Structure 1
Amino acid sequence: MNSEILVNVTPMETRVAIVENGAVQEVYIERSQNRGIVGNIYRGKVVRVLPGMQAAFVDIGLERAAFIHASDIDISHPRLHDEHQTSENKNVPPIFQLVREGEPITVQVIKDPIGTKGARLTTQLSIPSRYLVYVPDSDHIGVSQRIEGDSERERLRELVNSCKDDVGIEKGGFILRTAAESIGEAEIRKDMDYLRRLWRVLEERIKSEKAPQIVYEDLPLHLRITRDLIRADVDKIRIDSRENFQNTLDFVRKYTPEVEPILEYYPGERPVFDLFNVEEDIRRALSRKVDLKSGGYLIIDQTEAMTTIDVNTGAFVGHRNLEETIFKTNLESVTAIVRQLRMRNLGGIIIIDFIDMEDTEHQRQVLRMLEKLLEKDHAKTKVTGVSELGLVEMTRKRTRESLEQMLTEYCQVCDGRGRIKTAQTVCYEIFREILREARAYDTKSYMVLAAQAVVDRLLDEESAAVADLEEFIRKPIHFRVEPMYSQEQFDVVLQ
């Protein structure tokens, strides 16, 4: 599989597209005015403790207070040694034993603010480098699940253990990242030394900074990709900004020199995103409907609670029989679904309504293909299988806003419903409003101000109803088009 990473930089925002086999699979956007804060470490202040929710709100200097659950607080908290614990709260102690209002607390952001919700926090700090993640409050040495060989996993654990004392790291644990597969002792030592020096600086800041204050800020997007998104199959990283290319090159030479050969400045006349039609793919990713090559299509609806994906055969009629047509459509839709999950960065609960398959072997093949394609996803996913209703239920870890949340806002006309009242419905609302006004006030006539479509219907299809209403209230009714009104807006003016 051939992969490229395209980096488009402007003063306002940085956009990154991951292209696999010529097709865009993921898009990351970071705007200068509201950068993502996942990974940032803050010296915060507890502003409210909620025992009923086992959680607390923490002021970290943002517009909205951030949220921390008791399960995300390190249970080795010193206060727990002083207070009585029952067997019921042994695993997750009551929140009031862990934090108190007004006290400072060092936290790390694990989920960006999304919608009306504040950032999600943890006290279990971690600092990433190219191959390792340093966890100061743990002695555990973990290995990425994507590194599958048992012998390789054991080799890496032994390598980290042997290097810890030599580098001078007395406490803390490590997680070996996917990029660490097959690396040697020199790379591990270099990463450990970097993390040791960084953590000492952060320790001093944590002791000296007053809450709320940022202690550590993660790298900007164009540098993060060289640390987090590079895999063995990435052939090229193209950056269209000379300044940011040089900035990235300096960073790579210092911390990830193995990335330098694939780094390339792109000076072309065509925008770098036009090389693989990225702009068009972003536009399509904001649509409800996704067309399949066979003629079938997906309908994707994103809500606050979950995302639903409905698979339809559409114009695809197949060649053999109905069951074969359904199976082929479902199989084709899997590739499109996984791509859309990554492109749109859909997270949380996801319900997929494949077309009903009677053949259990067909169900198994579709499910297996879904799980196989999800292995390429950077986000953690879990598929629970086919439910009794024939739905596939899955979860995908959400740490940042989806593409839709980042690039769009609720429609002011429909208030986010996605639908508006028909002209006929608005006409009947106008009739009821006129009747209310006629009972309450004495006037010579009425003027209705409404959108073009509504006035057209009042003068055409509803003209007989208007005449009956005029006869009933014994007053004339006049109409005027207001070009700035939405279809649901209207006013009834007494004259």
Structure 2
Amino acid sequence: MYPFISSLEIYNLLFESLLFCNLKKGVLSLKEIFVERQENILRIAIKINNKLKECFIEEDTGEPMPGEIYKGVVKNIVPGIKCAFVDIGYKENCYMYIDRKFKNTNIKKDDHILVQVVKESIGKKGPKVTNAVSIPGRYCVLNTLDTSLTFSKKIEDENIKTYIRENLKKPKDIGFMIRTNGERVPVEIINDEIESIYKVYENIKKKAVYSLKPGLLIKTGGVLGRILRDKLDEDTIKIYVNNLEDHNKINNYISNTKDINVYLDPYEGERGLFDYYGIEKEILKLRNSKVQLSCGGYIIIEKTEAMYVIDVNSGKNTHNNSLKKTAFITNMQAAEEIASQIRLRNLSGIILIDFIDMTEEEEKSKILYKLKEGFDGDKSKTVIYPFTELNLVQIARRRVGKAIYEYMDEPCRRCHGKGRSLKLSYISSLMKNELNKIHQEENIKHVYIEISEIYKDQIKGDIVSFVRDINALDKTVYINFVNTEDYFKVEPLIFMNQIENLQMYKVYG
């Protein structure tokens, strides 16, 4: 009799087999993209060779999001900080830097202008916008600041550049930049995209003229559109998606894209897509400040008011007799892992790394090279500075979206904001997955939940909403609030004596 094998185990076996075959053939990587939408939140994970490499989250809050284009009205100009404040129809004015490179030094109060969101609002600070509006495609980007034709720095072949220049059909009144993908397709395809993007731009201008009030003119596809444009390549073998609308959008995109060959796999299971493929557990690990290295060392990632600080420690890496060799091996592994963690957690701003002390300049150069290598293909502009005299490395990374913590964590209610705890909404989604697993096994009518008492007021304040969020409106729910942070447990109640013993915790049903 054969042992039972789940569909997920079959998937992993097939993937490992495919990976082994492709590695033998010389294929470097196999990329998979997982697209999960749950109510007002979209999460996208990218795995390469079955290892989680990047995770993107977008929450539908109704706030201005990066990439969106608005009609704005200049409300105030503050010369001292070279900044203009612009009304785009949002509750708070946006801010826009004034600089010659943006060709906006002549703007005046009450001017009507086109602006694009660069960064979403943070706290009481409104969104950051720019008048340097751009509309990205897969092969080119429309730019409004000038009328020139430019090329991605990664396109180095002058013959290709000359051929594109001579055969490109570019409108004279607008600028375009040819992206790296444009090097790999016939120029006719680039021309088709230019025509399509230019029509979008013309429609935006018309809409702005006829709009009486400031407001949104166009969305640019959000994080899903950005992933399709920037991350979909010849290494991508499959996209998993759990939402019909997203499925149709992705299918339409890949059907009209000539330089990729990817299989689109619709997911219709009861459990969450991320939960089913084990991605949820990997994301939860990103909350840990400590990350182990295979050599026995580890890194500690901490956030301060002004920056992120990463400390490298040798830990249990005691295999080498030489302290110098131990430091170098640990630092090399740390450099690779740090780049991976920064991208996974979407850390930005100033990042300070305290490596184990080294004296050899050659070894320091290798560490910096390994660190820079980890950001290959990263669309967030990242600058890595040389080692300081104290063996510190500084990284400046452009902010694109929020760090993953901001979607999962909130200030701790018990310690008055000095620490962080999981958001109740995030725990609710995890509980929903657990209940779906239970429901798959048998039709359970009574459910027992243990959860940290820090969520007691939130849950009891609106018990029906909580029960609805965990998809348990058809069940009798028992909740025990315990004195343990970031903890929860969901158990089915099968026997009558269990149900009788837990009546004191009954909150719904």
TM-score range, shorter chain: 0.7 to 0.9
Give the direction of change, closer, same or farther, for the CA distance of 1:181–1:20 in structure 2 (3 Å limit).
same
Displacement, 1:5? 0.8
SS in structure 2 of the partner of residue 247 of structure 1 = helix
Q: Indicate if the aligned counterparts of 1:160 and 1:188 stay in contact, CA closer than 8 A.
A: no
Displacement, 1:224? 3.6
Superposed CA offset, 1:47-86 (max 9, x none): 22212111021111223221101128732x5xxxxxxxxx
SS in structure 1 of the partner of residue 89 of structure 2 = coil
> Could you tell me which of 104, 128, 139 is aligned with 2:136?
128
Displacement, 1:414? 3.4
Distance in 1 of aligned mates of 2:253 and 2:100: 32
Displacement, 1:21? 1.9
Q: Indicate if the aligned counterparts of 2:297 and 2:330 stay in contact, CA closer than 8 A.
A: yes
Distance in 1 of aligned mates of 2:68 and 2:246: 22
Equivalent pairs counted in the alignment come to: 395
Displacement, 1:17? 0.2
Displacement, 1:111? 1.6
Give the direction of change, closer, same or farther, for the CA distance of 1:206–1:161 in structure 2 (3 Å limit).
farther
Displacement, 1:310? 0.7
**5+ unaligned residues in a row in structure 1: which ranges?**
78-92, 420-482, 487-495
Correspondence for 2:312: 311
**Larger radius of gyration, structure 1 or 2?**
1
Displacement, 1:24? 0.9
Correspondence for 1:449: none
Bigger mean CA deviation after superposition, 293-302 or 18-27: 293-302
Q: Indicate if the aligned counterparts of 2:237 and 2:263 stay in contact, CA closer than 8 A.
A: yes
Q: Indicate if the aligned counterparts of 1:288 and 1:300 stay in contact, CA closer than 8 A.
A: yes
Distance in 2 of aligned mates of 1:218 and 1:246: 17
- 1:16 paired with 2:76, answer no
Alignment of 1:380-391 (within 5 A): 380-391=381-392
Correspondence for 1:450: none
- 1:194 paired with 2:212, answer no
Distance in 1 of aligned mates of 2:288 and 2:99: 37
> Could you tell me which of 55, 68, 71 is aligned with 2:99?
71
Correspondence for 2:183: 181
Displacement, 1:7? 0.8
Bigger mean CA deviation after superposition, 325-334 or 355-364: 355-364
Displacement, 1:160? 4.5
SS in structure 1 of the partner of residue 32 of structure 2 = strand
Distance in 2 of aligned mates of 1:381 and 1:224: 18
SS in structure 2 of the partner of residue 355 of structure 1 = coil
Correspondence for 2:167: 162
Distance in 1 of aligned mates of 2:68 and 2:56: 18
Q: Sequence identity, in percent?
A: 31
Give the direction of change, closer, same or farther, for the CA distance of 1:329–1:72 in structure 2 (3 Å limit).
farther
SS in structure 2 of the partner of residue 349 of structure 1 = strand
Correspondence for 2:365: 364
Please report the TM-score for the alignment, with normalisation by the length of structure 1: 0.74
- 1:5 paired with 2:33, answer yes
Distance in 2 of aligned mates of 1:297 and 1:19: 23
Displacement, 1:204? 0.5
Q: Indicate if the aligned counterparts of 2:351 and 2:396 stay in contact, CA closer than 8 A.
A: yes
Amino acid at match of 2:218: Y
- 1:150 paired with 2:178, answer no
Q: Indicate if the aligned counterparts of 1:144 and 1:175 stay in contact, CA closer than 8 A.
A: yes
Superposed CA offset, 1:17-45 (max 9, x none): 01112211111112233466111111112
Give the direction of change, closer, same or farther, for the CA distance of 1:36–1:45 in structure 2 (3 Å limit).
closer
Alignment of 1:209-288 (within 5 A): 209-253=211-255, 255-259=256-260, 261-267=262-268, 271-274=272-275, 277-288=278-289
Displacement, 1:275? 5.8
- 1:27 paired with 2:28, answer no
Superposed CA offset, 1:300-335 (max 9, x none): 122342211111112222322211111111111112
SS in structure 2 of the partner of residue 197 of structure 1 = helix
Distance in 2 of aligned mates of 1:162 and 1:110: 33
Amino acid at match of 1:49: I
Distance in 2 of aligned mates of 1:54 and 1:230: 39
Give the direction of change, closer, same or farther, for the CA distance of 1:175–1:68 in structure 2 (3 Å limit).
same
Correspondence for 1:340: 341
Displacement, 1:195? 1.2
Amino acid at match of 1:359: E
Superposed CA offset, 1:340-393 (max 9, x none): 110111111111111111232221211111112222323111111101221011
Distance in 1 of aligned mates of 2:41 and 2:147: 39
Q: What's the Cα RMSD here?
A: 2.5
SS in structure 1 of the partner of residue 374 of structure 2 = helix
Correspondence for 2:301: 300
Displacement, 1:258? 4.4
Q: Indicate if the aligned counterparts of 2:64 and 2:127 stay in contact, CA closer than 8 A.
A: no
Correspondence for 2:121: 113
Q: Indicate if the aligned counterparts of 1:114 and 1:401 stay in contact, CA closer than 8 A.
A: no
Correspondence for 1:464: none
Distance in 2 of aligned mates of 1:401 and 1:58: 22
SS in structure 2 of the partner of residue 248 of structure 1 = helix
Displacement, 1:221? 3.5
Distance in 2 of aligned mates of 1:29 and 1:58: 27
Amino acid at match of 2:129: L
Q: Indicate if the aligned counterparts of 1:164 and 1:170 stay in contact, CA closer than 8 A.
A: no
Amino acid at match of 1:108: Q
Q: Indicate if the aligned counterparts of 1:72 and 1:122 stay in contact, CA closer than 8 A.
A: no
Amino acid at match of 1:112: E
Amino acid at match of 2:181: A
Displacement, 1:259? 4.3
Displacement, 1:126? 0.8
Distance in 2 of aligned mates of 1:118 and 1:157: 43
Amino acid at match of 1:372: E
**5+ unaligned residues in a row in structure 2: which ranges?**
1-28, 421-481, 486-509
Distance in 1 of aligned mates of 2:101 and 2:305: 26
